Amino acid sequence: MKFSNFLFPDCRDPARDGDVIDETLREAWLSDELGMDVIWLAEHHFDGICAYVDPISFAGALATSTRRSKIGFAVVQTALHHPIRLAEQLAILDNITKGRLIVGLGRGSSYNIYDYQGFGIDHHEAQERLEETEKILVTAWTGEGFSHRGKFWDLDVPMLRPRPYTKPHPAIIRAASGEASMLELAHQGRPFLMNVQSMEVTRRRVELYRGAMHEAGYAEEQIDRSLAECWVWRNVFVAETDVEAERVGVPVFRAMVEARAALRNRIFRETGMRIAVPESDLPSARATVEHGFIHGSPARVAEAMADIDTLGVGGVIASFRLGPMPHETAINSLRLFMERVAPEIRRFTPAPLRG
């Protein structure tokens, strides 16, 4: 199982955005130095929930300053991007990193209407825009000149340059926050990114994913191979002892959950609009310390990671800097994880459990 760092730096004070961006760069460089398999980037606008805002620009900074870790997007809010501009930007990043790119695509924010209003996009169109843009990306990366006539884009495109470094194109993965979208990807034989969920929900979704791929006619080896490209997201805090992890980690996790809930409510009060999402996508057990937060001593966190490893998923997307957590506190947690947790899991690879 692979390990990765999801750089998701919250900043409530606009005056500190630059400082937090600098700290996040240092966290990325340390992640690369410590041997993280992937550094994941988010995209959120106008709300301070992700200080660097634009993952494409931030990935450009990491492309030349990291050497080993892949750079992934979790995710590019695809509806907010022009597909040809995005195809060019990602092809450039793929060339600079010599193939260290994972293109995570998603429909966009599930609650912040400002993300769409600020870019002049109707949020009801987000999923259809995602589908159309992905088709354009693949065509631009793999074909010669082409014409596209779609619902949102009418394009006449000469051959895209530069061509991607990765052939036929960079790896593409989709976010699946709910079971319906996950099952659709399973029917297509595609891997997925799962948002933070309780272990119970994670197990059930992995079983459903396996079952859906089996029903679609995929062989067991294909199912294992696809699942091994899937990633699950977890909030993680490691301290020297369980007591220290409770004392330091739990308050910041709770503050993060409360601040995000308050942000959703504030946006609704200001706009009178709330983006409708399926009930299964709404925060539930994953917003609790018990189910949404892996924390403790290295031994305790290693047990939790080993439990995830039995599912056969490819890797864990770990968020280390949570809400108002100071940079140095997150760095200490990251070091403990990579020096004392990851080696324990990498020492063996158990066979995945099958439902």
Q: Tell me: the pLDDT tens digits for 52-101?
A: 999 999 999 999 999 999 999 999 999 999 999 999 999 999 999 999 99
| Percent of the chain clearing pLDDT 70 (strictly above) | 95
pTM: 0.94
Rounded CA separation 285/287 (Å): 5
Contact 228, 172 (CB under 8 A): no
Rounded CA separation 255/252 (Å): 5
Q: Which DSSP letter does residue 125 get?
A: G
What is the pLDDT at residue 271? 83
| Percent of the chain clearing pLDDT 90 (strictly above) | 86
Rounded CA separation 296/94 (Å): 37
For residue 263, what pLDDT band results from cuts at 50, 70 and 90?
Answer: confident
What is the pLDDT at residue 208? 98
Q: Which is more confidently placed, 36 or 177?
A: 36
**Quick check: helix, strand or coil at residue 210?**
helix
Rounded CA separation 60/100 (Å): 12
DSSP 227-268: HTT-EEEEEEEE-SSHHHHHHHHHHHHHHHHHHHHHHHHHHH
**Rounded mean pLDDT of 95-110?**
92
Q: Which DSSP letter does residue 216 get?
A: T
Q: Which DSSP letter does residue 152 get?
A: S
Question: Is the pLDDT score of 239 beyond 90?
Answer: yes
Regarding beta strands 192-194 and 171-175, do their DSSP bridges make them parallel or antiparallel, or are they unpaired?
A: parallel
Question: Is the pLDDT score of 354 beyond 80?
Answer: no
Structure tokens at 277: 């999402």
For residue 281, what pLDDT band results from cuts at 50, 70 and 90?
Answer: very low
What is the pLDDT at residue 112? 83
Domain boundaries, the chain: 2-346
**Rounded mean pLDDT of 164-184?**
95
Of 34, 78, 76, whose CA–CA distance to 59 is shortest? 76
Query: pLDDT tens digits, residue range 242-256?
Result: 999 999 999 999 999
What is the pLDDT at residue 355? 46
Mean pLDDT (the chain) is: 94
Residues in the chain: 355
Spatial CB neighbours of 105, under 8 Å, sequence gap ≥ 6: 73, 75, 76, 78, 130, 133, 134, 172, 173, 174, 175
Question: Is the pLDDT score of 274 beyond 50?
Answer: yes
For residue 37, what pLDDT band results from cuts at 50, 70 and 90?
Answer: very high
Spatial CB neighbours of 200, under 8 Å, sequence gap ≥ 6: 285, 291
**Quick check: helix, strand or coil at residue 112?**
coil
Alpha-carbon torsion (83, 177, 75, 343), positive or negative: negative
Rounded CA separation 77/245 (Å): 33
Among the CATH numbers 3.40.190.10, 3.30.360.10, 3.30.1120.130, 3.20.20.30, which is that of 2-346? Answer: 3.20.20.30
Contact 40, 4 (CB under 8 A): yes
**Quick check: helix, strand or coil at residue 72?**
strand
Q: Which amino acid is at 239?
A: A
**Rounded mean pLDDT of 303-310?**
97
